Amino acid sequence: MTTPYTGNGPDDLGFFGKFGGCYMPESLMPALQELEQAFNTVRHKPEFWAEYQQILTDFVGRPSPLFYAKNLTAYAGGARIYLKREDLNHTGAHKINNCVGQILLAKFMGKTRIIAETGAGQHGVATATVCALFKMKCTIFMGETDIQRQQMNVERMKLLGAEIRSVQKGRGTLKDAMNEALRDWIRHVDTTYYLLGTGAGPHPYPVMVREFQKIIGLEARNQILLKENKLPDALVACVGGGSNALGLMHPFLQDPNVKMFGVEAGGKGTHTGEHAASICKGQVGVLHGNLTYLLQDLDGQILEGHSISAGLDYPGVGPEHGLLFETGRVTYTAITDQEAVNAFQLLSQQEGIIPALESSHAIAYAIQLAQEMQPEQIIIVNLSGRGDKDLNTVKKYLAGATA
Ligand SMILES: *Cc1c(COP(=O)(O)O)cnc(C)c1O
């Protein structure tokens, strides 16, 4: 049995065990090295973190509450369930934490233009938001299919001053948008900062995004110690690219008694081809510059992920999760579309909180887990975002249309 990984990665080359690294075209290596150097500089500057914290407090509304879900706990009939309320952040999810950190880094580097990829549009909106705040030029790459599906977020980004570039290549989804953003970056590397939305991509993105999302777990740790005077027994978070999960979990990795569960999108069932369970059902390969678990066919071609929640259908996962899986530190599991929709309705009715469909996967699993635990035990679930954006999707799903 390998020793559990306690969060001290990556190494100097960006590897978490064998996962991660920087498998990129040579034309981007100078840009990635410049980025890594800049991050390593600001990382040790107290002024940088003071400004980050200030914006999180005044603009994002942190700290986000840690809410004891009394009714949900009674419903499940087991462990005490706490919700980390990332849904209450400005723009409605955890993604803004990372955007604040990275735009400060872009400013430090003297960049004037920000580019980003987006799938459902949540990361695009968060990016456009910080660009407005910092008066930076903003270009968002979005697949044409996603543009059609996510009109509201497209309008939001435009209102915030962003230019939307439609990506017609491939299936016109997140993976294609990310490819285009990388191509744009190669052409405009002098002026442009690529603000990546999740803990995937080439080194140093996975470690940067983790450091900017760690605030979730750091706050949760203090909050639970104040409320319960002990650490939680379990943490539960949904896993798309893996940033909200890592943000919650990382500050607890060295506490052996805190069990951790990453919940992937089981879609129509992991026995069908239609899911996005990259760890539970994928294989190791390279996508977007890092070695990790991916959904791929026998020829190594990347498959399209399916999930009712647009934020979970990325066909890969951040590399640090690869190591957390292999060392057994985090247990990965999957929740289906149907189970997520049930949890979406249940939390709305039980607690008056409409969760994002992504977060509903974590809620669904936490209910099952609570039932196997004792009443004095504690679970913290990361409520990664609010679900107002998902009302139409759920309505259609319930009407029997395929999501
Ligand atoms: C984007 C998103 C996710 C998935 O991304 P991670 O990087 O895995 O956290 C989860 N929940 C919400 C609300 C999102 O917007």
Q: Rounded to whole angstroms, how far apart are CA atoms 238 and 224?
A: 20
The atom number, within ligand 1, closest to the CA of 200 reads 7
Q: Which helix (H) or strand (E) holds 397?
A: helix 391-398
Residues with catalytic function: 95, 117, 384
Helix, coil or strand: residue 142: strand
Q: Are strands 234-238 and 259-267 parallel, antiparallel or unpaired?
A: parallel
Global confidence as pTM:
0.97
Residue 123 Cα to ligand 1 middle (Å): 9
Q: Report the CATH architecture of 23-56+94-204.
A: 3-Layer(aba) Sandwich (3.40)
Query: pLDDT digit of tens for each residue in the chain (403 aa)?
Result: 568 899 999 999 999 999 999 999 999 999 999 999 999 999 999 999 999 999 999 999 999 999 999 999 999 999 999 999 999 999 999 999 999 999 999 999 999 999 999 998 999 999 999 999 999 999 999 999 889 888 999 999 999 999 999 999 988 889 899 999 999 999 999 999 999 999 999 999 999 999 999 999 999 999 999 999 999 999 999 999 999 999 999 999 999 999 999 999 999 999 999 999 999 999 999 999 999 999 999 888 999 899 999 889 889 999 999 999 999 999 999 999 999 999 999 999 999 999 999 999 999 999 999 999 999 999 999 999 999 999 999 999 999 855 4
Contact of 87 with 355, CB cutoff 8 Å: yes
Domains 23-56+94-204 and 62-92+213-399 share a fold: yes
**Atom in ligand 1 nearest the alpha carbon of residue 386:** 13
Residue 297: alpha-carbon gap to chain centroid:
24
The closest residue, in CA terms, to atom 5 on ligand 1 is: 240
* Whole-angstrom distance, CA of residue 342 vs CA of residue 90: 26
End-to-end Cα distance, the chain? 41
CA of 28 to the centre of ligand 1 (A): 27
* β-bridge partners, 265: 276, 335
Largest CA distance in the chain: 57
Local structure of 395: helix, strand or coil? helix
Could you give the angle at the alpha carbon of 141 between the alpha carbons of 135 and 146, nearest 5°? Answer: 125
Q: Which helix (H) or strand (E) holds 139?
A: strand 137-143
CB 148 within 8 A of CB 310: no
Q: Do 244 and 84 form a contact (C-beta atoms < 8 A)?
A: no
pLDDT at 403: 44
Q: Of 83, 84, 94, 360, which is best to mutate to test ligand 1, by the most ligand atoms within 8 angstroms of its C-beta?
A: 94
In degrees, rounded to 5, the angle at the alpha carbon of residue 304 between the alpha carbons of residues 298 and 306 is 120
> Ligand 1 atom 4: the closest Cα is on which residue?
240
Residue ranges of domains in the chain: 23-56+94-204, 62-92+213-399
Mutate to test the pocket of ligand 1, among 243, 261, 324, 359 (most ligand atoms within 8 A of CB): 243
Neighbours of 85 (CB within 10 A): 18
| Tokens at 202, concatenated | 């080439």
Which of 152, 170, 135, 131 is closest to 287 using CA atoms?
Answer: 170
Please, are residues 341 and 272 in contact by the beta-carbon 8 Å criterion? no
CA–CA distance, 363 with 367 (Å, rounded to integer): 6
For domain 62-92+213-399, give the CATH number.
3.40.50.1100
- Which amino acid belongs to residue 25? P
Of 200, 146, 237, nearest in space to 315 by CA: 200
Closest atom of ligand 1 relative to the 312 alpha carbon: 4
The pLDDT of residue 401: 58
Q: How far is CA 365 from CA 68, 161, 265, 333, 354, in A?
A: 17, 38, 11, 8, 17
